[in-house]
Each structure stands twice: as structure tokens, then as C-alpha cells.
């Protein structure tokens, strides 16, 4: 008789109990790529279907995972204190056949930091279509 364990159960038995994430999401791996949540992984699979012709066509290999956008340069204030740059890391950036660029952010929990970075992103990158998946 075979016993089937989930990864979580197996890790617990072997003393490798995983901590629950801050917002309760469960990390997943799809096609060797780690995602912060099941929802994010499912959206990646949906984007993959679009590349195969189901839905709006995506140009070649134009899906970027966790693209980084500079929101504010690093600087030194008048007192000589150094301040790091502010960056926004989206979940996906997609370039479509018609030249459109969309940035997707898959959110389960919307924090105040996210709201602020989103506002800065929209101001600095008005030419990029921002899509929030909640």
C-alpha cells in the first residue's frame, strides 16, 4: 500500500516545516519558474496560452517575469545622507504584436507601499498600460 504525502506533509515529517507567507499565499513552481502565488502562476500559464494563439497575440518571447522599473534615482541629501533608488518590480511585462506594452501585477493583498509605487509608476511611465489583477 502506497502512502501519498503532499510536499508540505513531507517537509513537516523531515523537519523542514515551511513558514506561512506574510499574506497567506502559497508559492508554486511552473515550468521551472518560481512564483510567489498560485494566482500569479496561473496568470503566467494564461499568458503562455496567448503565445500559442489563444487570445491577443504576444510577440515571440516577449513575456518578462518580474521586470524592474526605476521610480526615483538614488541621491544624497543636503546633509550628506545617501538614499537608495526606489524601484517597482511588476509581475509581468508583455509586448504584443501591435507594439502595445502592458505591465501586469497580480495582487491578493493591496498594501499602502504598493499603492504609492503604483502611483509613481503611472506618473513616470504613462506610455505603458498598467493592468492590476485582483
Q: Each residue of 13-40: pLDDT tens digit? A: 666 655 555 556 778 888 788 888 888 9
Sign, CA dihedral 26-32-34-35, equals: negative
Q: Taking the chain, what is the end-to-end CA distance rounded to the nearest angstrom?
A: 43
Q: Which residue has the higher pLDDT, 43 or 25?
A: 43
49 CB burial (10 A radius; 0-12, 13-18, 19+): exposed
Residue 8 confidence (pLDDT) above 60: yes
What pLDDT is recorded for position 131?
95
What pLDDT is recorded for position 52?
63
Residue range 64-110, pLDDT digits in tens: 999 999 999 999 999 999 999 999 999 999 988 788 889 999 988 88
What pLDDT is recorded for position 119?
97
- Its pTM stands at 0.72
| Residue 130 per-residue DSSP state | E
In the block, which residue shows the cell 502506497?
2
Residue 44's CB is within 10 A of a number of other CB atoms, namely 20
Report the chain's C-alpha Rg in angstroms.
19
What pLDDT is recorded for position 53?
63
Mean pLDDT of 52-68: 74
What pLDDT is recorded for position 45?
87
Amino acid at each position: 500500500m502506497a502512502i501519498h504525502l503532499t510536499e508540505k506533509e513531507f517537509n513537516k515529517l523531515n523537519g523542514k516545516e515551511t513558514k506561512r507567507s506574510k499574506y497567506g499565499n502559497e508559492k508554486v513552481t511552473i515550468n521551472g519558474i518560481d512564483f510567489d502565488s498560485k494566482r500569479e502562476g496561473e496568470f503566467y500559464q494564461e499568458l503562455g496560452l496567448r503565445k500559442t494563439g489563444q487570445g491577443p497575440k504576444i510577440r515571440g518571447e516577449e513575456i518578462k517575469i518580474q521586470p524592474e522599473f526605476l521610480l526615483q534615482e538614488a541621491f544624497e541629501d543636503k546633509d550628506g545622507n545617501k538614499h537608495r533608488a526606489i524601484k517597482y518590480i511588476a509581475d509581468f511585462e508583455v509586448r504584443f504584436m501591435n507594439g502595445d506594452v502592458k505591465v501586469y501585477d497580480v495582487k491578493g493583498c493591496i498594501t499602502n507601499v504598493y499603492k504609492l509605487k503604483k502611483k509613481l509608476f503611472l506618473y513616470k511611465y504613462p506610455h505603458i498600460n498598467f493592468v492590476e489583477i485582483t
